[in-house]
Amino acid sequence: MADRFTALVPMKGHSERIPGKNLRPLAGRPLCFHVLDMLQAVPAVERIVINTDSEEIAAACRAEFAVTIHERPGEIRGDMVSMNRIIADDLDRLPEGEFFLQTHATNPLLSAVTLSAAVAAWLGDRERCDSLFSVTRYQGRFYDRAGGPVNHDPAELIRTQDLAPLYEENSCFYLFSRTSFAATGRRIGTAPRLYEIDRLEAIDIDDEQDWLLAEALFELQRRTPGGENRP
């Protein structure tokens, strides 16, 4: 494939809500291994770069995968640093390559099939879209914190399936070019494409409830014929 991607996977050693989350075993493997397994199965990905502040994470990933490790500089460590600053650090160290794919270790159910389809969709639409990011579609009655309706009229109770959908940025993946990032300083450019993915694939592990749900879904896959082979 002519258009090859560098996958950027940031991994912190510290996690406020689930201590040691990235190396904690999920379905028999460290959490962070699941996304690396998946990326290895995406034909468009030619290189995987892990930006981390953890020697333990770096050693574990090097032992299992062919990855490039970027030790995170002190000035961009911590819980309050924008992901765009971490991406900028990665791109500064990678003088070659135009196309980038950023994902997270906390999305263990994302499949190579879905990500490959998103890559193909963006490459086929790049004249119109400078970036692409994954979203989850919702059709329900939403309110703001003051109790005001967001996407519906309470006086007109139309069916939820007939409401205009809302789309949540689910942080599963972002596709962008070096050119678009240089122009905006952001992984989401000025003309992004939203790419809807399955809600179960989009599970992002932030807390213990998310972890339990991911474990249950992995167990369901294990019991489903062929499910254990899904990257």
In a domain? residue 150: no
Is 48 part of any domain?
yes
What is the rounded distance in angstroms from the CA atom of residue 46 to the CA atom of residue 148?
A: 47
Note the pLDDT of residue 178.
Answer: 97
Sign of CA dihedral 146, 152, 158, 164: negative
Interatomic CA distance for residues 79 and 111, integer angstroms: 27
Confidence of residue 1 (pLDDT cuts 50, 70, 90): very low
**Residue found under tokens 């510290």:** 14
Does a structural domain hold residue 46?
yes
Is residue 160 one of the residues assigned to a domain? no
- What is the CATH number for 224? 3.90.550.10
Q: What is the residue-wise DSSP string for 134-200?
A: EEEEE-S--B-TTS-BSSS-TTS---GGGSPPEEEEEEEEEEEEHHHHHHHSSSS-SSEEEEE--TT
Give pLDDT tens digits for 148-207: 999 999 999 999 999 999 999 999 999 999 999 999 999 999 999 999 999 999 999 999
Any domain includes 87: yes
Tokens of 85: 């600053």
**pLDDT over threshold 80, residue 231:** no
What span, in angstroms and rounded, lies between the C-alpha atoms of 141 and 149?
Answer: 7
Average pLDDT over residues 64-83: 96
138-177: buried (b, 16+ CB within 10 Å) or exposed (e) per residue?
Answer: eeeeeeeeeeeeeebeeeeeeeeeeeeeeeeebbbbbbbb
Domain-embedded: residue 68: yes
Q: Alpha carbon of 197 to those of 95, 168, 223: distances in Å?
A: 32, 11, 23
**Residue 25 pLDDT more than 50?**
yes
Number of domains in the chain: 1
- Mean of pLDDT values over 207-231: 84
pLDDT at 224: 82
- pLDDT tens sequence across 90-147: 999 999 999 999 999 999 999 999 999 999 999 999 999 999 999 999 999 999 999 9
Taking residues 64-74, what's their average pLDDT? 98
Domain span holding position 203: 5-136+167-229
Query: Residue 154 falls within a domain, yes or no?
Result: no
Is there a domain that residue 155 lies in? no
